[in-house]
A and B are shown apart, each in its own frame.
Chain A
């Protein structure tokens, strides 16, 4: 797992959005696995490099519908319970409404629906920023386990040096939009 470390406003989240082309740079080129992202189909790219946003933002519907949404867009059906379990949630969560869950559980739903796309890379934007300490530890363990299993390469953004030390194989430090270490 690669961790992008930097203070808020240092450009970490923007970098993730550039990588999956939710935004385009004013100048310069962004490459994903060697290819200029502008040469790729943006929808296809977002399935290959899937962003998990900082705050949970589920679609309307049940937890299972959220997990099935992304694959459903390309006509695939998936075992939603399996992906919920990968994200550390019991399969019985499927019938519940995300907005009734705790923020920590919602964040796991966001992780499960990204995993359901079986992306090559997960882009994790401060995935534990909105969580209390106990749920943060749980989500970190889940992420470490997923990284260990080699399910997807992971690029995680954080402002917390300690979190970077706990999770990272490699730390890239950003300051004012530039790599400083």
Chain B
């Protein structure tokens, strides 16, 4: 595989397009110029810093360093997702477990099946994508769960009053939360190559890989992500649901009369 060199000067040239975006914002008074500036600065600093971190991890060639890095990503992802799931009592441990399990199980499985070699240059980028997608899915799932719990509190309590367990009284709503978390990636996977070119494939093509190799790797990644997203949503909703109920199958927050 040939590698691709991009000089800092060439990176700077791409700012012309940012200037275009700023121009649009000014012209249509979208008031986004400051945000654009901040976005450019943050993306530059964050990605550069991550670049050096990843380089150091690759050079260390130690799986323990990889595990440490992925754990840090899980922690960061957990706190980020919690921001979207504040209405769920006990969301933090539920999300931590959802993201951690999604990362551990999917990466463990692809390693066990021999899809990837246990090397930092596979585990770090794939792990990052798994955790990122699991984070988004778990956040969407819990956000939807909280909305459904609050809009259907009366119906749930009326169902509990018939002797249903908290799980029975919320079966439909957990399913809906799970679906809303999984549908975006399922749809994205269906239309991949038709509407969007996924990032890994683009990156490999730019870096000079054979198209068929790029496609195969992309397929592996997409399919791994489907598993990770399903697992993260399932764990997040199952554990998240518990926070709304007591052990005696009572709603912690009684419905408004």
**Which of A's residues lie within 8 Å of B, judged by CB?**
13, 17, 20-24, 42-44, 46-47, 50-51, 53-55, 57-60, 69-70, 73-74, 110, 113-114, 117
Take A53-B158, A57-B154 as given contacts and tell me if A43 and B254 are in contact as well, using a CB distance cutoff of 8 Å.
no
For the complex of A and B, the 6 pairs showing the least CB-CB separation, nearest first, are A57-B158, A70-B162, A51-B161, A47-B163, A57-B155, A42-B248
B159 at the interface (CB under 8 A from A): yes
- From residue 157 to 172 of chain B, which have CB atoms closer than 8 A to chain A? 157-165, 168, 172
Take A22-B157, A24-B248 as given contacts and tell me if A44 and B163 are in contact as well, using a CB distance cutoff of 8 Å.
yes
Take A23-B254, A42-B249, A57-B158 as given contacts and tell me if A70 and B172 are in contact as well, using a CB distance cutoff of 8 Å.
no
Take A57-B155, A59-B155, A110-B158 as given contacts and tell me if A22 and B250 are in contact as well, using a CB distance cutoff of 8 Å.
yes
CB <8 Å contact, B162 and A113:
yes
CB <8 Å contact, A46 and B160:
yes
CB <8 Å contact, A73 and B168:
yes
Number of A-B contacts (CB under 8 A): 66
- 12 sample A-B contacts, Cβ–Cβ < 8 Å, listed by A number: A17-B254, A22-B250, A24-B246, A24-B248, A47-B163, A51-B158, A53-B157, A57-B154, A59-B159, A69-B162, A73-B164, A113-B162
B257 at the interface (CB under 8 A from A): yes
Per the bound structure, the CA–CA distance linking A73 and B161 in Å amounts to 12
Per the bound structure, the CA–CA distance linking A110 and B154 in Å amounts to 13
CB <8 Å contact, A22 and B163:
no
CB <8 Å contact, A22 and B162:
no
Query: Which residues from A are CB-within-8-Å of B163?
Result: 43-44, 46-47, 50, 70, 73-74, 117
B251 at the interface (CB under 8 A from A): yes
Smallest CB gap from A43: residue in B = B163
CB <8 Å contact, A47 and B162:
yes
CB <8 Å contact, A24 and B250:
yes
Per the bound structure, the CA–CA distance linking A64 and B164 in Å amounts to 17
Query: Which residues from A are CB-within-8-Å of B161?
Result: 20, 22, 46, 50-51, 53
Query: Which residues from B are CB-within-8-Å of A60?
Result: 172
Query: Which residues from A are CB-within-8-Å of B172?
Result: 60
Smallest CB gap from A17: residue in B = B254
